[in-house]
Amino acid sequence: MIPAEAIDHIEVLRDGAASQYGADGIAGVVNIILKKTVSHLDMDAQTGANAYNGDGWQYQFGFDGGLPLGDDGYANLSGQMYHTDHFVQKGIDSRTGVSDDPALSLSEETRQTLSLNAGKHLTRSLELYGFATYAHRHGESYQDYRTPDILPQMYPQGFVPIEALEEQDFAITLGLKGRLPAGFKWDLNSTYGFDDDHMSLKNTANPAYYADYGSSPTKARTETFNHMQWTNDLNISRKFSLGSGRFINLSFGGQHRLEIYHIGAGDPVSYYKGGTQGFAGLMPENAGRWNRDVWAGYIDTDFHPTRKLDIDVGGRFEHYTDTGNAETGKIAARYDFTKRFAVRATISNGYRAPTLLEEHYSALNVTPFGASASLPVNSPAASSLGAQRLKAERSTSLSGGFVMEPVDNFHVSVDAYQINIRNRIAPGGSFQGGAAENAIGLTGATLPGGLASDNVTATYFANGASTRTQGLDIMADYALSLRRYGHLNLSMALNLNRTRISHLATDGTGSPFLNAQQIGYLTTASPRSKIILNAYWTIGKWSVNVRQTRYGETVNNVTYQDQAPAALQYSQSQFHRFVNTPAWLTDLEVGFQATKRIHLAVGGNNLFNVRPRRMPLENSYLGTLFYDNNSAGIPMTGGYYYGRINVSL
């Protein structure tokens, strides 16, 4: 929700971040640095489409401008308007024999974002700063086609329900920072953020409501969600010199965070006797408001016992009013043998409390032949299926590697890592048929008639397993001058990783929380390897960027659907092992500096229209959902081609 035009650069802290930044830093911290530049105005516009499909048209406009506030202040305003049309990958519907089901698609979306970043010295040693973001998003997504027999009185040709989202998101930070006489620096800031989502269905109806009242609304609000966070931070730091190039950096601080999560019910027609077609709205029984406070304190010391050795030790204590206490820490070290070669290593532990959403979220999705429910883990409905109260995730991480510059302008970094996560939170349970129907009934919901019992499922968030992830990251870049043939920047990034289950938890009935399919989502749904090769060449007014990205293999256990043999349909214990084979994707952009202030570019992402493998017909729901949407990596959208103009004033 931050406009890209507002971003100056992005910093990534990968190791031991939880000890300083808290639970959100279990896998590292991404620090987005906003622009502070003044006396300029930059504008950009881009448009393009997925040409192979002929849809998914996109366009965006953006700007970034700054003004000085006196001699020592700045104000930077950025904004973006973005729109994309529906992208639909049509397949032959097994019910009708024609391509009339657009459910395998990407949403239509319109998004407006704004960002303001400002700062000003009040005195020589006191600075006031602040930044704010605002975003509005409207999105619409196709659901499965409903055949004419669902409600012929209203839709004699059948219909496609449309899920709609209306979202408002904003955040504001105000802070003061300065210096104390003893040489300490301090930073006091407060951040308030709020996100509000209103979900609705269009082009829909409730058949049971029509049968009872002779009519049905075609549009209904189905649910609302909003989440608020108010965070207050105080950070203090000082650098102590020990002489001879040695020093100690000391930092410590405290934080308080208030979180509030709210779920609102839908219109009565959206949940009446099975609900509207597309998905059922949330009932008053599903609604509620939950909150918690988080108190934290940390201390971090970075010291150089010698000029070549740097040691960083940190610790953090947190208290959650709903999940208890957490202690995290890290020890990191780096040794520079020469200015061209250094080794580094880190050991740390992390803590992630279950989010309020994971504790309380609920939903009921109804398809033409089935239904799936997500149950609040602390509800009687989930308890009937053996659910237990969520515990926090805890992690232990080890990493080590080296950085080197063997020759000028050639940089290489290599890091190996191992991350153990205990009590990992994931959607758990593999309940179907009567057990799932009974649990859904305990929520107060009524399912529509005519559903295949084996295609009614229920899940809830659970501490499903403990995992071990091992991996290797290699990055390199080389900048070279080609003299009269311009300049060439080459870069390479390689990631190899493997995640395995080290412990599989069981529910209150003694059954494993995760089935083979859910285990696959944690272990093999993401590529085992990824390679990015990039070459950026500039000569005169021209520039060319070529990028090759290789996504490694992904494997998922996919469900047998309506066209499979009856004994396998919708099974939660027997699956088809589906493999998405590795693939290379090519991106190309050519740019031209038309004038001092105008830059033009044309390009293509996934230039040769590479797509994932299609699943067998027996694993494609209704014959139309033929891509494995739970597999990360190769997008189903194929090639995207665009043109862009940048103007700097």
Instruction: Give per-residue pLDDT as tens, 258-299.
Output: 999 999 999 999 999 888 999 889 989 889 999 999 999 999
Q: How high is the pLDDT of residue 279?
A: 86
Pairing of strands 598-605, 554-558: unpaired
Terminal C-alpha separation, the chain = 26
Read off the pLDDT of residues 372-421 as tens digits, 9 standing for 90 and up.
888 998 888 988 888 888 999 999 999 999 999 999 999 999 999 999 99
pLDDT above 70: residue 26: no
Distances (CA, A) of 235 to 177, 398, 517, 619: 9, 27, 45, 54
Report which of residues 144 and 51 the model is more confident about.
Answer: 144
Read off the pLDDT of residues 85-133 as tens digits, 9 standing for 90 and up.
999 988 899 999 998 899 999 999 999 999 999 999 999 889 999 999 9
Buried b (16+ CB within 10 A) or exposed e, 556-565: bbbbbbbebe
pLDDT above 70: residue 639: yes
Confidence band (pLDDT; 50, 70, 90) for 23? low
Read off the pLDDT of residues 417-445 as tens digits, 9 standing for 90 and up.
999 999 999 887 778 888 888 888 888 88
Share of the chain above pLDDT 70, in %: 99
Asked whether residue 151 is domain-assigned, the answer is yes
Asked whether residue 166 is domain-assigned, the answer is yes
pLDDT above 80: residue 332: yes
Q: How high is the pLDDT of residue 337?
A: 96
pLDDT above 90: residue 199: yes
Confidence band (pLDDT; 50, 70, 90) for 16? low
Averaged confidence pLDDT in the chain: 92
User: In total, how many domains does the chain have?
Assistant: 1
492: tokens are 């390479």
Read off the pLDDT of residues 145-183 as tens digits, 9 standing for 90 and up.
999 999 999 999 999 999 999 999 999 999 999 998 888
Asked whether residue 603 is domain-assigned, the answer is no
CA 196 – CA 476 distance, rounded (Å): 42
Q: How high is the pLDDT of residue 599?
A: 98
Share of the chain above pLDDT 90, in %: 72
Neighbours of 40 (CB within 10 A): 13
Pairing of strands 456-481, 371-375: parallel
- Structure-token match 């490694």, residue found: 552
CA 532 – CA 543 distance, rounded (Å): 19
Average pLDDT of the segment spanning 538-560: 96
Asked whether residue 352 is domain-assigned, the answer is no
211: tokens are 């049968």
Asked whether residue 15 is domain-assigned, the answer is no
pLDDT above 80: residue 18: no
pLDDT above 90: residue 307: no
State which amino acid sits at residue 159. F
Asked whether residue 635 is domain-assigned, the answer is no
Q: How high is the pLDDT of residue 162?
A: 97
Q: Quick check: pTM over 0.75?
A: yes
Asked whether residue 309 is domain-assigned, the answer is no
Are the C-beta atoms of residues 499 and 522 closer than 8 Å to each other? Answer: yes
Q: Can you list the positions of beta strands (E) in 278-386?
A: 288-303, 309-320, 324-338, 341-352, 363-366, 371-375
Pairing of strands 487-504, 640-648: unpaired
Residue 316: closest CA among 353, 348, 356, 291: 348
Q: How high is the pLDDT of residue 122?
A: 93
Write out the residue range of the structural domain in which residue 184 sits. 80-113+125-287
CA 593 – CA 267 distance, rounded (Å): 55
Q: DSSP states of 98-145 as a string? A: SS-B--SEE-EEEEEEEEEEEEEEEETTEEEEEEEEEEEEEEEEE-PP
- Structure-token match 């990028």, residue found: 547
Are the C-beta atoms of residues 159 and 148 closer than 8 Å to each other? Answer: no
pLDDT above 90: residue 225: yes
Asked whether residue 154 is domain-assigned, the answer is yes
Least confident of 60-74, 234-248, 391-405, 565-579: 234-248
Q: How high is the pLDDT of residue 27?
A: 66
**Cα-based angle 390, 396, 400 (whole degrees, multiple of 5):** 150
pLDDT above 90: residue 366: no
CA 558 – CA 534 distance, rounded (Å): 34
Average pLDDT of the segment spanning 218-228: 96
